[in-house]
Amino acid sequence: MAIVTLKDALQKAEEGQYGIGMFNVINIETINSVLNAAEESASPVIMSYPEVDWRYVDADLVTKNMVEKARSARVPVVLHYDHGHNLDFMQKLLDLGWTSLMIDESKRPLEENIAITSKVVEMAKKYGASVEAELGHVPFDEGGHGNDLQADIESLYTKVDEAVYFVQKTGVDALAVSIGTVHGEFKSTPKLNLGRLQELQASLPIPMVLHGGSGLSDQDFRNCIARGIRKINVFTEIMLTPATVIKTRLAKEPGWKMSYTELMDICLLSMKDAIKRNMDVFMSSGKAW
């Protein structure tokens, strides 16, 4: 199956009333984990490259590899850019064949967010690629440890009237909304504002995106999917899973001499299993077209 746009993939998810997982990749192991999981689950997938993790990777190498692998995948793959700010790099990705860009200027005032997002929509349109933006703000940097939900995140929730105005002004294909999730690990039990999500669903003509998926319960995901979330981002959970497997084995077998290749296998398999589990919960398993 070919590389597909975010817009087309989320349209299918809307018709089938399910969510599609977005998983960030940073190297060959994570690319293989995501694509193997999607193929074994016969699920569409959004394979994403995160701007925040540039420091760990050779961007040219990883993005070229993502295109090669996605082209030969047996399931629909969206090539997505997560939390982008760098328009020059986005242009490079469009030239490489990227089908979806997230521009995140959610920390800026509304009109500035609209102006920069509109620029990216113009860029992407020339390539038939899709654009996701964020309004309201999902706090904290992903991959972080321990986010304190006592902080006043309610003031960051997406406002319905602003969201309607933003979508109409920018022409984005999907909107990331803030309803109580945070990037990185949760310190306390997340409380989602499902009422706000329902109002947003009733008012917006496009699918919505949930950031900060790690740490939510299966029921949280089902509640969000029932209220119009079609793209669900999960990263921290996938990054933490291999260490959990390794710690468990070391506790049972303190003398275990792990080789690097053994570690790679553990990473691949544990991340793949975690991704497959998410695909089942999001109800995208078996939905590849």
Annotated binding site for dihydroxyacetone phosphate: 184, 212-214, 233-236
For the chain, where are the alpha helices, taking DSSP H only?
Answer: 6-16, 28-41, 59-71, 87-96, 110-125, 160-170, 194-203, 218-226, 236-252, 260-282
For residue 132, state whether it binds ligand 13P (rule: CB under 6 A): no
- The single residue among 19, 20, 82, 175 that binds ligand 13P, judged by CB under 6 A, is 82
- The single residue among 137, 211, 231, 272 that binds ligand 13P, judged by CB under 6 A, is 211
Residue type, 167: V
Least distance CB 68 / ligand 13P (angstroms): 23
Query: Closer CB to ligand 13P, residue 141 or residue 253?
Result: 141
Position of tokens 């929509």? 121
Which residues participate in the annotated binding site for Zn(2+)? 83, 104, 134, 183, 211
| Structure tokens that stand for 98 in this block | 């990227």
Interaction pattern, residues 237-256, with ligand 13P; x per rule: CB under 6 A? x-------------------
Which among 32-40, 90-98, 233-241, 269-277 is the span making contact with ligand 13P, rule CB under 6 A? 233-241
Interaction pattern, residues 137-166, with ligand 13P; x per rule: CB under 6 A? -----x------------------------
Query: Closer CB to ligand 13P, residue 236 or residue 285?
Result: 236
How far apart, in whole angstroms, are the C-alpha atoms of residue 273 and residue 201? Answer: 31
Least distance CB 103 / ligand 13P (angstroms): 13
By three-state DSSP, how is residue 220 classified?
helix
Q: How far is CA 145 from CA 72, 142, 185, 202, in A?
A: 35, 9, 5, 34
82 belongs to the catalytic site? yes
Query: Which of 8, 53, 82, 88 is an active site residue?
Result: 82
How far apart, in whole angstroms, are the C-alpha atoms of residue 104 and residue 256? Answer: 44
Least distance CB 63 / ligand 13P (angstroms): 17
| Structure tokens that stand for 285 in this block | 């398993």
- The single residue among 214, 278, 284, 285 that binds ligand 13P, judged by CB under 6 A, is 214
Which among 32-40, 68-76, 188-196, 211-219 is the span making contact with ligand 13P, rule CB under 6 A? 211-219
Sign of the dihedral through C-alpha 260, 59, 277, 274:
positive
| Residue 169 burial class via C-beta count within 10 angstroms: exposed 0-12, middle 13-18, buried 19 and up | middle
Least distance CB 261 / ligand 13P (angstroms): 27
Long-range contact set of residues 242-249: C-beta below 8 Å, sequence gap at least 24: 242/266, 242/267, 242/270, 242/271, 244/270, 245/270
Residue type, 1: M
How far apart, in whole angstroms, are the C-alpha atoms of residue 240 and residue 243? Answer: 6
Least distance CB 99 / ligand 13P (angstroms): 17
Query: Closer CB to ligand 13P, residue 68 or residue 214?
Result: 214
Partners of 103 in the β-ladder: 84, 133
Residues that bind ligand 13P (CB under 6 A): 82-83, 142, 183-184, 211-214, 233-237
